[in-house]
Chain A
Amino acid sequence: MSNLDLARWQFAITTVYHFLFVPITIGLSAMVAGFETQWLRGRNPEMLRLAKFFGKLLLINFALGLVTGIVQEFQFGMNWSAYSRFFGDIFGAPLAFEALLAFFLESTFLGVWIFGWGRIPEKAHAACMWLVHIGTLLSAYFILAANSFMQHPVGWKYNATTGRAELTDFVAVLTNKVQLVTFPHVVASAYLVGGGVVMGVGLWLLHKHRGTKDSLMYRKAARIGAVVTLLAGAGVAVTGDTQGKIMTEVQPMKMAAAEALYTTQDHCAAFSLFTIGSLNGQSQKAAVKVPCVLSFLATGSFEGKVDGIDDLKASLPAQLQKQARAEGVPAAYSQPADAVYTPNIPLAYWSFRLMIGVGMTSTIVALGVLWVTRKGRTALAKPWVWAGIAVPLLPVLGNSFGWIFTETGRQPWLVYGVMSTKTGVSGNGAGTVLTSMVVFTLLYAALAVVEVRLFLDYTRRGADPAPPDPDAASTDEHDTPAPVSFVY
């Protein structure tokens, strides 16, 4: 494999791995903050127990999310130095903003939250977790703004004197229309994950503790998780739909690839549920299609026109090259050398379907959970327990498929239409990149095993019993700190 292939693989591995933990952190921090706030409002000890219990799961997960994020930040310089030089003027700023506005907030207040039980006022303690959550959202905003720029570059110009892209309008970068639909979509997906984890873990523990008083608490958790999953699912669908239309507008090839649609449909394009056989446009054996739905997804009208791959292949290169020339970008950057203007179709097609499929499935399961736990029911049929185990996994995978789709669908460009992926890579030898890829992948694999084991062990154990007297946990100014659950 070439240096370029390895750098791409490494980026894919790092990003997908990092993004297994990010949505859990975003979603779960909100859930934990919510439980703790509920406890402050109603003094129901169950809410405190849930806050502490899910807090532990959050911490196990946060640790890995953080360390993989570090690699992410430095990877641009290590593997994509030509890109960093060319676009750093624009791309670096959101990253620096993320560090300054979000990372400090998350790290500092998570530290205070962990060690602050009984040492700071209760309201301040709950506020710490909300600040952690706000930090995760800010983090997501800036990173997605940087990514949206790569999908749809705005607010920049090419400077021929310095030979690089330069920022002209930072507000435009932060309010990129792709960003304005991507951010809500990603955040809703993260809440879907957070809700799914709480619902799934709650269901499983409800079953384990059936017949005991604790089952009522876990039932509550499962139901709260289910409600969040449903609301988030609706949010994911609405934002995803809007995103589809913007995507069709700015990256028509991505939508065509997502559907493996080769010939342009002037009206009423069908949405393909799945296809058996090859996706090369010729040897399709069977496909299940829903008429007109693709037109609606892509344009908002059942009668809308959707461009096919073949037609785009003929018209898109000239159009993009013209745009790049108008910006003054040298052809060496903007034109993929081997003139491949289509992304990997099967990858785009299947990741798009899986993303939507798992998202919808988890919402349906959530509805079912609300039904089977209605009116104080705590006895569950076995399949619901299995659903409880599967449900947190589904949206996590859905998020991964979403990123695989959106990132591979942008190919062959790093920055759509402006800089081809090939021209952005560092000059390091393939051996160097391979070394780091092997090291990181092995490290990630080992850490994944550790984290999953810990996560399962803590889940299996369940929530700690309620503290004997909740008032004793209030602020004390004595020299001897009260034994607190989170001290190392």
Chain B
Amino acid sequence: MTLETFWFILIAVLWTAYLMLEGFDFGVGMLLGIFGRDAEGEDGATRRRVLLNAIGPFWDGNEVWLLTAGGATFAAFPAWYASMFSGFYLAFLLVLVALILRNMGLEYRHKRHGETWQRRWDAIIVTCSVIAPLLVGTALTNLVRGVPLNKAGDFTGTLLTLLNPWSLLGGLTILALSLTHGCFFIALKTDGQVRRDARALGTKAGLVSAVLAVVLLGWVDLHTGTTWSWITSAVAAVALLGALAANLRGREGFAFSGTMLTIGMAVATYFVALFPDVMPSTTNAAYSLTVDNASSSHLTLQIMTGAAVVMTPVVIGYSAWNYWVFRKRISTSTLPTKHDPLAPLPPSESLQEAGR
């Protein structure tokens, strides 16, 4: 295997890890809008806190996989990075705005007590948790499908070129998978009514995802697929059905692992179908960016390989520790009482009293 191929695989792994991990916190973000209302004996505000606390320690670290995927693409395939980000300009602008607002919502929502304040941030979190996976899915599908690139590697289409039926189907599939994944995560991480609701919704969302994913992956395999992409697609389909079955039997850990594998294999299908291109040109096949013509020099790839080999296990190690530390289920009953972070403080002792 050449270094270029190795780096193609690594970037595929980074994108896969990103969607497998942030997928569930996107899903939970959407659930905020679905489960965030009053339900049997539980008030909506507390339910929203349960959902947010479930992803609280994780979502920020999950997002770093995207930044690493971007950075690694820049370092290992500069021409790909340049064409992709300048070509998908407005789409990425929207993704960035969605991610920025979503992050701010997750960080700032709890910093103030007011009803209006929290409602507004909730709306932002929900909206952005829908937009981000939708657009990331759209962009990745366009990548596999090919876009008009000229000889210099510059995108010659418009925003509408990117919004074609297949790419939109790709966006919807990633969206539905994220929602299912988020449901299973919540089912695994919480207790009480929220957990039961998540299981019920997970089944419905899972069935929709299954239909979308089968059509999408089937098309990808017919479009540029290989034997391997058929295999990964098949594994994705089986994993999703397995996840649904596990969910029905109340095996939440298996259900969550199942959607994890589904998303992993779906993204793997994309990259297997893409290889050896990294960004096919629909204008002229000769203009396509490939692992060979878009890659960095050998020296850069070697240095990056050294860093990746040493650092990836370390990163995975402490991320795993993070998930281990916060492994307990939370529910409306175990959540500490809500407090106003800006509530007035009791008057502090005066110096004279303290001196006495």
In the assembly, what is the distance between CA of A381 and CA of B73, in Å? 56
Given contacts A104-B319, A454-B111, contact A439 B93 (CB under 8 A): yes
Q: Does B285 contact A (CB under 8 A)?
A: no
Q: Does A70 sit within 8 A of B, measured CB to CB?
A: yes
Contacts of A209 in B (CB 8 A): 348
Interface: A447 (CB within 8 A)? yes
Residues in B neighbouring A450, C-beta threshold 8 A: 104, 108
Residues from chain A with Cβ under 8 Å of B269 in the complex: none
- A112 contacts B325, CB within 8 Å? yes
Given known contacts A111-B56, A119-B325, A447 and B93 CB-to-CB distance under 8 angstroms: no
* Chain B, 68-100, CB within 8 A of any chain A CB: 68, 70-76, 78-79, 81-86, 89-90, 92-93, 96-97, 99-100
Q: Show 28 A/B contacts (Cβ-Cβ < 8 Å), sorted by A.
A: A60-B107, A63-B108, A76-B81, A77-B85, A78-B85, A78-B89, A81-B83, A84-B78, A84-B81, A92-B71, A92-B75, A92-B76, A92-B296, A93-B75, A98-B71, A99-B68, A100-B68, A100-B311, A109-B318, A112-B57, A112-B325, A426-B154, A443-B100, A447-B104, A450-B104, A450-B108, A454-B108, A461-B342
Q: In the complex, which of the residues A103, A114, A435 contacts B56, with contact meaning CB atoms closer than 8 Å?
A: A114
Q: How far is the CA of A56 from the CA of B107 in the complex (A)?
A: 11
Contact A74 B70 (CB under 8 A): yes
Choice from B96, B103, B336 contacting A487 with Cβ under 8 Å: B336
Chain B residue numbers with a CB within 8 Å of A60 are 107-108, 111
- Judge if A166 is at the interface, Cβ distance under 8 Å: yes
Chain B residues near A159 (CB, 8 Å)?
Answer: 297
A487 to chain B, nearest CB (A): 6
The yes or no answer to A222 lying at the interface (CB within 8 A) is no
Write out the residue numbers on chain B whose beta carbons fall within 8 Å of the beta carbon of A112: 57, 322, 325
Task: Spot the interface stretch: B181-189, B234-242, B251-259, B301-309.
Answer: B301-309
A210-218, A246-254, A386-394, A412-420 - interface stretch: A210-218
| B315 on interface, CB distance cutoff 8 Å | yes
Q: Give the shortest distance, in Å, between A77 (CB) and chain B (any CB).
A: 3
- Is B75 within 8 A of A88, CB to CB? yes
Asked if A371 lies at the interface with its beta carbon under 8 angstroms from chain B, I say: no
Given pairs A77-B84, A88-B296, A109-B318, 16 additional interface contacts (CB within 8 A): A60-B107, A60-B108, A63-B103, A71-B96, A73-B71, A88-B78, A88-B82, A89-B300, A99-B67, A101-B307, A119-B326, A166-B296, A215-B351, A426-B82, A440-B97, A480-B334
Q: Which residues of A contact B348 (CB under 8 A)?
A: 209, 212-214, 465
Binding site for B on A (CB under 8 A): 56, 59-60, 62-64, 66-68, 70-71, 73-74, 76-79, 81-82, 84-85, 87-93, 95-101, 103-105, 107-112, 114-116, 119-120, 159, 162, 164, 166-168, 170, 209, 211-216, 378, 426-428, 432, 435-436, 439-440, 443, 447, 450, 454, 457-458, 461-462, 464-465, 479-484, 487-488
B151 on the A face (CB < 8 A): no
Q: Whole-angstrom distance between the alpha carbons of A79 and B7 in the complex?
A: 25
Partner of B67, one of A73, A85, A483, A487: A73
- Minimal beta-carbon separation of B241 from chain A (angstroms): 33
Q: Which residues of B contact A465 (CB under 8 A)?
A: 345-346, 348
Rounded to whole angstroms, the CA-CA distance of A462 and B339 in the bound complex is 16
Tally inter-chain residue pairs, CB-CB below 8 A: 260
Please count how many residues in chain B sit with their CB below 8 Å of the partner chain's CB atoms: 82
Complex contacts, B196 vs chain A, CB 8 Å: none
Nearest chain A CB to B171 CB, angstrom units: 19
Q: Mark B124-160, 1 if CB is under 8 A from A, else 0.
A: 0000000000000000000000000000111000000
Minimal Cβ-Cβ distance residue in B for A444:
B100
Question: B297 and A96: CB pair below 8 A?
Answer: no
Question: How many angstroms from the CA of A481 to the CA of B326 in the assembled complex?
Answer: 11
Residues of A within 8 A of B354 (CB): 213
CA distance A146 to B9 in the complex (A): 26
Instruction: Return B119 CB to nearest CB of chain A, in Å.
Output: 15
- For residues 335 through 354 of chain B, which have their beta carbon under 8 Å from a beta carbon of chain A? 335-337, 339, 341-342, 344-351, 353-354
Counting chain B CB atoms within 10 Å of each CB, which of A60, A73, A101, A443 scores highest? Answer: A73
Query: Cα distance A454–B110 when bound, in Å?
Result: 11
Tell me if B1 counts as interface (CB < 8 A to partner A).
no
Do A481 and B349 contact each other (CB < 8 Å), given the known contacts A77-B82, A96-B71, A96-B74?
A: no
- For residue B325, which residues in chain A have a CB less than 8 angstroms away from its CB? 112, 116, 119-120
Restricting to B49-70, which residues have a CB under 8 Å from any CB of A?
49, 52-53, 56-58, 60-61, 63-64, 67-68, 70
Is the pair A96, B100 in contact by a Cβ cutoff of 8 Å? no
A462 to B28, CA, bound (A): 33
Cβ-defined contact, A104 with B297, below 8 A:
no
Decide: B64 and A107 in contact? CB cutoff 8 A: yes
Min CB–CB distance B105 → chain A (angstroms):
10
Q: Is the CB of A89 within 8 A of B296?
A: yes
Please indicate the chain A residues that have their CB under 8 angstroms from the CB of B112 in the complex.
454, 457
Q: B74 — which chain A residues lie within 8 A by C-beta?
A: 73, 76-77, 84, 88, 91-92, 95-96
- Residues in B with CB closer than 8 Å to A211 are 350-351
A479–B328 touching, CB < 8 Å: yes
In the bound complex, residues from chain B placing their C-beta under 8 Å from that of A64 are 104
Q: How far is the CA of A68 from the CA of B328 in the complex (A)?
A: 33
Partner of B68, one of A63, A103, A108: A103
